[in-house]
Amino acid sequence: MTYTKKRYLTYTAITLFCMVLPFITINGNHMLLLSFDKMQFHFLGFAFAIQELYLMPFLLIILFIGIFLSTTMGGRIWCGWACPQTIFRVLFRDLVESKLFKLRRIKNKQKEIDYESYGNQAKKLLAMGLFFLLLLFIASNFMWYFVPPEDFFVYLQNPMEHLFLILFTITVAVFLFYTVVLTKEDFCVYFCPYSRVQSVLYDDNTVHVIYDEKRGATECTSCDACVKICPTHIDIKKGLQVECINCLECADACTGVMAKEGKSSLIQWSSSNQMVHNKPTNHFSVRNIMYAVSIAACIGFILFFSAQKEYLLVNVNRTTNLYKIEDKLVRNNYVFTIQNTQDRAYTYDIHVKNEFFEAKRFKPFTLQPNQRVKKVVTIETTKPMSYSNSKDTPLTLNVSVFAQQEPQKVVLNKKVAFIYPRDSLIK
């Protein structure tokens, strides 16, 4: 199987994965969703409130370090095999323009389309119109990672009430149209900073598209098939260039030509050590190992914090009065801010984990999903707790806030300070 066919299969798998992922839910939570509407972040079936976005930095670190690791090992494999810009460009150039409308030859990507004939102009407009409709669907798929599909399609039924959503989706489609149809491969060459970073990450063990200069001096037929098919318009025979995206179409083209002469391709996906120095490729360099360790550490942090997920948020503040005294009864007042971070309603209650203290002025209440309220809670005791006749005694109490429906799961323990007055104030 040629590299081109393998890339097409990879593109198909990535596209289907990205299209289907927003529809996959676990217990009503999405696999990946950053909802600004509901102020939630869903990851692998867990729902986190916006205050719990400490997972996002780890995900971003994994993304960037993963790209660095893949680059040091496989060159710009991300650009040629997984980048959305490349996938959309191949979709427009190779499928829409070449296969559907026959505007260009798929084996000659450097030849521009002849627009002198009226037929080609009409075909080009039809191709662009069809692709823009496809981009609207792609932009909608992008929005599903911020607005879940079940809400997105409901919002579309009332477009005037959700103009921002619709305009933003159209804006994304227009941006993609500009970069894919108008900017073309120049986006990879001039706009994307990744091509400039790759030179720092490459070494002799990096696997990339490489031309065998030793054999090429005598065996190259000068057919320029590798040049004609290059989407970024470079000549791989002149050596590695920042424009190369590791699509390996030049390797396929050379393989077809050299096969007629019973020889292997002059263009390989190999490393400089293997091709030039006749040494085995070593992927276990210190740099690569450190990249892998960093990714593993981030995954470990994500799993740890996911296991520590809080199913509700509670913030406790004291009121301005330290305490109130009625005979031998001492009372402290608190303001509890409680937020339900789940996707179902719960009835919450409070329990003080000390037999000598009791919560008063509080009744169980129900919170809807993502609802937050403030409740004044009084904690009081009649048990003498003073340890001094000259100053107040600070005590630490463990207070449990829990859902009556699932008290073992949806529960949060908080430590609160209880101020007990000095002996001289107690009657």
Which tens digit of pLDDT belongs to each residue from 369-380? 878 889 888 988
Question: How far is the C-alpha of 427 from the C-alpha of 423, rounded, in Å?
Answer: 8
Domains of the chain by range and CATH?
3-199+285-302 (no CATH), 203-275 (no CATH), 312-425 (2.60.40.10)
Cβ neighbour number for residue 16 with a 10 Å cutoff: 10
CA distances from residue 225 to 212, 218, 232, 235, 287 in whole angstroms, order as listed: 16, 17, 14, 10, 37
CA distances from residue 9 to 12, 92, 138, 159 in whole angstroms, order as listed: 5, 16, 18, 37
Cβ neighbour number for residue 335 with a 10 Å cutoff: 13
Residue ranges in 75-205 assigned as alpha helix (H)? 77-81, 84-90, 118-143, 149-156, 163-177, 186, 194-201
Residue 358's identity, in one-letter code, is E
Give the pLDDT score at 113. Answer: 66
SS3 280: coil
Question: How far is the C-alpha of 367 from the C-alpha of 341, rounded, in Å?
Answer: 10
pLDDT tens readout for residues 32-48: 888 877 777 888 887 77
Give the pLDDT score at 312. Answer: 81
Using CB atoms within 10 Å of the CB of residue 419, give its burial: 0 to 12 exposed, 13 to 18 middle, 19+ buried: middle
Question: How far is the C-alpha of 315 from the C-alpha of 373, rounded, in Å?
Answer: 11
Question: How far is the C-alpha of 288 from the C-alpha of 303, rounded, in Å?
Answer: 23
Give the pLDDT score at 362. Answer: 84
Please name the residues in contact with 331: beta carbons below 8 A apart, sequence gap of 6 or more: 323, 324, 325, 360, 378, 379, 380
Q: Confirm if 143 and 135 have CB atoms less than 8 A apart.
A: no
Q: Which two tokens stand for residue 62?
A: 């994994």
Q: Which portions of the chain are predicted below pLDDT 70?
A: 49-53, 106-108, 110-119, 307-309, 388, 427
What 257-261 contacts at long range (C-beta under 8 Å, 24+ apart), as own/partner pairs, is 257/221, 257/223, 257/225, 258/219, 261/219, 261/221
Q: Which two tokens stand for residue 337?
A: 């801010």
